[in-house]
Amino acid sequence: MSAAAPAKRLYIKTYGCQMNVYDSERMADVLAPLGYALTERPDDADLVVLNTCHIREKATEKVYSELGQLKRLKAARGADGGAMTIAVAGCVAQAEGEEIMRRQPAVDLVVGPQAYHRLPELIARSHRARGERLAADFAPQAKFDALSSERRPSGVTAFLTVQEGCDKFCTFCVVPYTRGAEWSRPAEAIEAEACALADQGVREVTLLGQNVNAYAGEGGLAALIRRLARIEGLERIRYTTSHPRDMDEALIVAHAEVPQLMPYLHLPVQAGSDRVLKAMNRAHTAESYLALIGKIRAARPDIAISGDFIVGFPGEREADFEATLDMVREVGYAQAFSFKYSRRPGTPAAALPGQVAEDVKEARLHRLQALLDEQQRAFNAAQTGRTLPVLFEKPGRRPGQLVGRSPYLQAVHAAAPERLIGEIVPVRIEGAAGHSLAGVLEAGPESA
């Protein structure tokens, strides 16, 4: 979806009434941000849309005969090494549904008048079904293998990419269009890179992916974590970002059983109102998210929960926003990221009615952040008096001081000798200041 993307040709044939003419224009509008420009002829089009009408008799048969001709054009494009996507929209699509694809297999997708805002998603999905990647036309595996062999980690913690892309199509988000389909790196390559990192002194890896818990290697993310937990020297494992939908039983059990897996989970919920969640296409409700959090906490009672939130999604009313605040109160977040909804061209939500005024978004964000900040401070303050294992990463701001991370990802400052960088050391927490903790080495700075 970048400005540099080559123009793709869109041919729309409109049958029937004025309403269809209007709808065809709207379809062209929602597709323009994806790089589609209208063309007059179907011959060289990348995407052909038949916007159909079935008000008159035999209209349906006319559509099938048109599709028969398009099938030949599509085959000719394919023979030239190109590709043509054929979509059927309008009233025939509504009436016949997927029957059309059964009768004419050259049709890639069928979209009824109620779903035109989802055209970008449907087109992306149909390209994926053919094994095409949108926008990301590199071979991911080659990219990672080339990058990882040159890797020189600079510290005792490192990121490790295990997954890319997203198939969730949240209606506000550009990632499914810009990063392409979900793709998982083979476990062997990940393990090899993790071993190399451990050999170079890395003690903690954070497994990265747009949808990291959708990791599709054998046994999923839980199996990958157990595999990496066997690597000598690798003491801590984290992962981010997860989708509630992919939080499977095995991963929850891993939080209870794998000591290297840190008790911290970034699990975005985005909103607390089911109406808004549905419009966001999140595939979870407030209740199912809360039930999931309950299961995770049953497995690992001390786990720190983090999240992402969007305020001012189109159509969000005061009561919806209140539901988000209720959700936050119910969960109790250790950390969180919150954003004002921002309209991204090409995403379905950008075309929704009920866009929320900027000052309303601003005020809601302010209220939400005040609550989240209060929760983070409370979570940090509750560590006072506890002894936590801290992985020291680097010198702190003051001389003689090191800074590291608690299992809950809090920054911890303590007076400690430099040789403890890369070590996990028990630190008694004496206080919380702002967003970090201060403590003293349990064994004292000299004897540690």
Of 268, 205, 266, nearest to 238 (Cα)?
A: 205
What does the alpha-carbon distance between residue 248 and residue 209 come to, in Å, rounded to a whole number? 16
- Which tokens belong to 436? 């970090």
Q: Does residue 172 touch ligand 5AD according to CB under 6 A? A: yes
- Contacts with ligand 5AD, 234-273, as mask; x by CB under 6 A: ----------------------------------x-x---
Q: Nearest distance from residue 325's CB to ligand 5AD, in Å?
A: 16
Q: Nearest distance from residue 187's CB to ligand SF4, in Å?
A: 22
Amino acid identity at 421? I
* Contact present, 382 and 389 (Cβ < 8 Å): no
Complex with ligand SF4: residue 157 or 213, whichever CB lies closer = 213
Q: Which residues sit opposite 305 in a β-bridge? A: 265
* Contact present, 368 and 339 (Cβ < 8 Å): no
Complex with ligand SF4: residue 176 or 263, whichever CB lies closer = 176
Give the dihedral sign, CA 344/349/354/358. Answer: negative
Complex with ligand 5AD: residue 112 or 315, whichever CB lies closer = 315
- Contacts with ligand 5AD, 199-218, as mask; x by CB under 6 A: --------------------
If you ran DSSP here, which 8-state letter would residue 74 be given? H
Q: Does residue 69 touch ligand 5AD according to CB under 6 A? A: no
Complex with ligand SF4: residue 10 or 271, whichever CB lies closer = 271
For the CA atoms of 220, 221, 227, 228, the dihedral, rounded to the nearest 10 degrees, stands at 160
- Which tokens belong to 328? 């936050």
Q: Among ligand 5AD, ligand SF4, none, what binds residue 169 when CB lies within 5 to 8 Å by partner kind? A: ligand SF4
Interacting residues toward ligand SF4 by CB under 6 A: 166, 168-170, 173, 175-176, 210-211, 243
Q: Nearest distance from residue 90's CB to ligand 5AD, in Å?
A: 29
Q: Nearest distance from residue 216's CB to ligand SF4, in Å?
A: 15
Q: Among ligand SF4, ligand 5AD, none, what binds residue 144 when CB lies within 5 to 8 Å by partner kind? A: none
Pick the stretch among 38-46, 127-135, 298-306, 335-343 that binds ligand 5AD (CB under 6 A). Answer: 335-343
Helix H segments across 159-314?
175-178, 187-199, 220-229, 249-257, 274-279, 286-299
* Contact present, 222 and 192 (Cβ < 8 Å): no
- Contacts with ligand 5AD, 300-329, as mask; x by CB under 6 A: --------x-x-------------------
The residue count for binding ligand 5AD (CB under 6 A) is: 10
Q: Does residue 342 touch ligand 5AD according to CB under 6 A? A: yes
Instruction: Give the DSSP H/E element, type plus range, for residue 128.
Output: helix 119-129
For the CA atoms of 51, 32, 362, 286, the dihedral, rounded to the nearest 10 degrees, stands at 50
Q: Which residues sit opposite 395 in a β-bridge? A: 402
If you ran DSSP here, which 8-state letter would residue 261 be given? B
Residues near ligand 5AD (CB under 6 A) are: 172-173, 268, 270, 308, 310, 339, 341-342, 344
